[in-house]
Chains A and B, each alone.
Chain A
Amino acid sequence: DAKTTQPTSMDCAEGRAANLPCNHSTISGNEYVYWYRQIHSQGPQYIIHGLKNNETNEMASLIITEDRKSSTLILPHATLRDTAVYYCIVRAPSSIHGSSNTGKLIFGQGTTLQVKP
């Protein structure tokens, strides 16, 4: 079962920041928080991941609370093309030698973000 809880759906106005919350209250100390999104009829796309520090890349920012029990994905200036299902995933680290979970992600139901003009 997924270890995260996300709202089923959210709306955001085009050009505004989209803030997508995720609860992961049972996260272990060595588990990372990953975000992927899936645009209709495409495969999921990696967005960002982090352990405990806030992270930023060209797509988004990830804010993880100090107790690590929740996080927020921020799309700073949402566009219509950001309309998608966003998945928050908690995942243990893996190693290249003998690891059994490098390619395994446990997806929940995600949040459907609708960006409106």
Chain B
Amino acid sequence: KAGVTQTPRYLIKTRGQQVTLSCSPISGHRSVSWYQQTPGQGLQFLFEYFSETQRNKGNFPGRFSGRQFSNSRSEMNVSTLELGDSALYLCASTLGATNEKLFFGSGTQLSVL
């Protein structure tokens, strides 16, 4: 069974640009969550999608958005990139049931210059 797949693995952008990251969950998983990891703030929850609906959101500005498709694949978008958006962005999937463990991808390393 394939794991959580995130593309691209590495990305370099400049300030002011926008970026879209992709996440393919484990087959059959309906919940996809996104996290940002930086050396200073650690791992922080961005948002979660379940059956194409956002059902939880972390404390991030509106420049961070996401969506989920009918096949459970998810994308997150960051607009008007800032230097501080440089981070490892991780996606996790789960069935969405009670106390399910999360399965994480290897992440997308975003560098904003």
Contact = CB atoms under 8 A, between A and B. Distances in A.
Interface of A: 32, 34, 36, 41-46, 49, 87, 91, 93-96, 98-110
Classify the secondary structure of B's interface with A. Answer: strand
B27 interface: no
Given A43-B104, A93-B99, A101 B56 contact: yes
Contacts of A45: 104
B94 interface: yes
B53 to A, nearest CB: 10
Interface string B64-106: 0000000000000000000000000011101011111111111
B43 A99 contact: no
Contacts, number: 78
B24 interface: no
Nearest to B34: A103
Contacts of A43: 4, 90-92, 104-107
Interface residues of B, number: 29
Given A93-B98, A94-B98, A102-B97, 8 more contacts: A41-B106, A42-B104, A44-B92, A46-B101, A46-B103, A99-B96, A103-B50, A104-B56
Nearest to A43: B104
